Each structure stands twice: as C-alpha cells, then as structure tokens.
Amino acid sequence: MKIIIAGAGEVGYHLAKQLSLEEHDISVIDIDEDQLERVDSVTDVLTIKGSSTSIEMLKSARVAETDLVVAVTSSEETNLNTAILAKQLGAKKTIARVGNAEYVSKENKGIFSTVGIDHLIYPEELAAFEIQKLIERAAATDVIEFEGGKLSLLGLKLDSNIPILRKSLKDISKEYEIVDFRIVAIHRGMRTIVPSGNDLLLPNDQIFITTTHEGIGKILQLAGKDKAKIDDIMILGGGKIGKKSAQLLESSLNVKLIESDKSKTNELADQLSKTLVIQGDGRDIDLLAQEGIIDMDAFIAVTNDAETNIIACLMAKHLGVSKTIALVDNVDYIPLTQTIGLDSLVNKKLIAANNITRFIRQSNVVTIATLQGIDAEVFEFIAKPGSEITKKPVKNLKFPKNAIIGGYIRDNQGFITKGDTQIQANDKVVVFSLPFEINKVEKLFQS
C-alpha cells in the first residue's frame, strides 16, 4: 500500500514507526526538518521537506498513485486542506486530524465526505472515551473490548498479597480452571514478556489477560481488585478532554471539575448539567483537601501540562485516592509513569495513531490497539477461508514465539483459546504480539 503521511509530529512519527515494519511504501511530508530527521532515524520511509498543501509537493510525492493520505499536522486547517487537495489529485482515501468537536458530530460528518475527506480523527474525544472505559473498569490499568465486550483484554497491576503470586501460569490455570481467561503478556520492569506455561507471576508485575464478559468479575477477584468501585470523581483541567470526560461520566457518577481559568469555568458550569465546576489551582493541596479529595474514588488529571498531571495524580494517590489517570502527551514519560505509582495514563496522540492504523492494515484486521508504555500491539483478525490458521489446532500451529492467541469470537459469542482449539473460517481472533512478529502473524490469517 502506498501511504502519504502529512505531519511528522508525534502522531505522524508513531504512525510511520508502526508501519515501517510492514511492506508499505510510506512518504512523510513536513516543513520541519528536525522532525523529519527524527522520523528518518528510526523508520524506513521517504521523508519530504515541504508543505502538504502545496499541489506541486503532493504531485511530486505521487499522490495520484496513493492508496491513503493521512493528514495529522498540528494545524486543523492544514489537515483539512491537505485531505481535500489529495482526493482531488487522485488519492483513493483520505484521513484528517481535527480539533473541533463540531466536525465529528453525526449531523456534520457528511459535510466532509462530500468534499473528499473519508474519515476525521478527533484525538481529544478518543482520549475521553478511553478515560470512560478506564473508570468503568476501575481496577484495570488498560481496557480493550472486542465486539462490544464479548471478549476483553484487561491490564492489571499485581499487589504483593494475592494468592496467584509466585505460581506458574500452568499451575494457575489448573487451580482456577473454572475461570475462563488467558494471560497473554507480563510487563516486568521495562520488559514485555509473551509468557509460556512455566513463567511465574511476581509482585508489581503488570499482566494482560483476555477473558469473556462473564469472567471479568472472577479475574478481578483473583487479582485482588474486586473491591474497586467508583462513585465520586475529581477531574483536574477543563479543556476539551476534561469537558468531554465530564459529559460522559456525569450521568452516572458524582463529578467535580477543577479549572483555573475563570471564563472557562463559567462556560463549563453552563455546559455541564450535573458536574460541579470549581475555579482554582488543582496543584494547591489545600484546595484539593477543601474540595474533599480524600473522599474521591478517582482523580483524573487532564491539563495541558504533563508534569502537572503526573504530580497531581501522585499527590492524589498519596492522599488515598484508589484510581488515578493522567494525560501524558510526552511519550518519553510513558515508561517512567508505569514505575512511579500511576494507575493509568492516556496519550491522545498514540490513541489517534492507533485509530488511524486500522485503515491502513489489510482487510482481515478488524481492530488494532497499542498498549501505552508496552512495546506490543493487540489485533482482532478475521480468519480467512483456507488460511493457515484454520488448518490445525492451535497447539500444532507454527505460531510466532513472541505472539499469542488470547481468544476468538464465533457466532456472536466469545471464547478463550486453549491448546486444542480449532480456529474456523470467519472467526474473529484476538492476538497479542510484539512488533517484530506482526507480519508473520498476519500471514497466518490470509488465504
């Protein structure tokens, strides 16, 4: 597939990085030479210095032969113009990143398709949806649902006093065979392990488990996380993500939102029907105490400053808040935050890149997600008729060592994979894989 990425910032960089391991012809256009050099240093792509809204520049990048143009610069106007021009010049599909909630509303989406933009990405809304999922599954560090929750992948941090510690995965499976689950990854320190039956679980491991909807409660109980329940939430930051998160959560939970800007506070108070909006500096511990932070079940920090979000969440954790979520836009902080006590983090640029990637993968991939801070990806493949994956039981397949099948969906029902499982044509199969194994895995699902 020939792909043009307009914008070499964080979203474009991560898109190029994800896709550089695959057999795509990728060009990245940007006016910033330093950002292009960064992309060029870690990826096998063609970098082009210039403006993506230049017709001559797009023609020189062979836009007429391009399958997909992805416009993800920091400028909404540039992205929209790039996508429109690219489609007029012959690109088959176009995607544009936007920062205006109006544009992605149901009533307005059709406007953009008429001018040649096939899909809009609004990272702030995607980040708010991610926060909503993390609150709904309060104990989890990560939540990915497949086919409306028929299968789920949960990330859980292991405390030091739970019964499954220092046991091998095969012993845990035998002891708790009535629970339908599979541990597909262990994150220990800075390393991600795709485990075998002999691997042990240790304190402070972050584990990733596939399970059915019915198994979630039992999994949380085994991991000592079943007591987590959220009723009261405090949100720090009334920007786009804070506002959208409050809108998503206020109908079922008690939400307080702290915003430092007076005019924005007044606007939020008018726009949020059930959220209590407070003007003040969320870094002020006296203010937080006055507003009852010690009585909160969750604290969500989504200001525009990553350091403020991290520090505020650590402070909330110190004061006894059980669930903290930080918006961290600097991806260099992501591995660090996993080790200093934060429960969950959200990076809107990585979420946007993951959302875009599903348009780029081959047609037998339904879903793709990258676990933040973890060097791995999760896929939902459709098993094509005649594909290698359908010819033998799972235990007899030559499946890549650093990838694992977590479960599958057949006839609208989720199942956990076992050794004698036989994948059938048209099954939707959930796979956890380290990046360098993705191509090998994908080939197993192709006819």
Same fold? 2-121, 351-444: no
Q: Domain 2-121 sits in which CATH superfamily?
A: NAD(P)-binding Rossmann-like Domain (3.40.50.720)
Domain assignments of the chain as residue spans, ordered by start: 2-121, 133-219, 229-345, 351-444
pLDDT value for 239: 96
pLDDT value for 149: 84
- 398 burial type by CB count under 10 A (0-12 exposed, 13-18 middle, 19+ buried): exposed
Residue 377's pLDDT band (cuts 50, 70, 90) = confident
CA 113 to chain centre: 26
At residue 427, φ and ψ (nearest 5 deg) are -65, 145
Beta bridge partners of 48: 29
pLDDT value for 52: 97
At 29-44, the pLDDT tens digits run 999 999 999 999 878 8
- Low-confidence winner among 91-105, 185-199, 272-286, 350-364 (lowest mean pLDDT): 350-364
Query: 73: helix, coil or strand?
Result: coil
pLDDT value for 345: 87
pLDDT value for 426: 92
Non-local CB neighbours of 369 within 8 Å, separated by 6+ positions: 144, 354, 377, 378
pLDDT value for 279: 95
* CATH node for 229-345: 3.40.50.720
- Low-confidence winner among 60-74, 94-108, 323-337 (lowest mean pLDDT): 323-337
Whether residue 321 is predicted with pLDDT greater than 80 in this model: the reply is yes
Cα separation of 421 and 419, whole Å? 6
* CATH node for 133-219: 3.30.70.1450
Contact in structure between 259 and 241 (CB atoms under 8 Å): no
Residue 304's pLDDT band (cuts 50, 70, 90) = very high
Q: What percent of the chain has pLDDT over 70?
A: 94
At 332-342, the pLDDT tens digits run 777 666 667 78
CATH architecture of 351-444: 2-Layer Sandwich (3.30)
pLDDT value for 226: 67
Residue 124's pLDDT band (cuts 50, 70, 90) = very high
At 346-370, the pLDDT tens digits run 999 888 887 887 667 655 566 666 6
pLDDT value for 337: 65
pLDDT value for 225: 75
pLDDT value for 83: 97
Q: For residues 297, 300, 306 and 308, what is the CA-based torsion angle, rounded to 10 degrees?
A: -60
Whether residue 372 is predicted with pLDDT greater than 70 in this model: the reply is no
Interval 161-181 mean pLDDT: 87
pLDDT value for 151: 92
**pTM of the shown model:** 0.79
Interval 230-246 mean pLDDT: 96
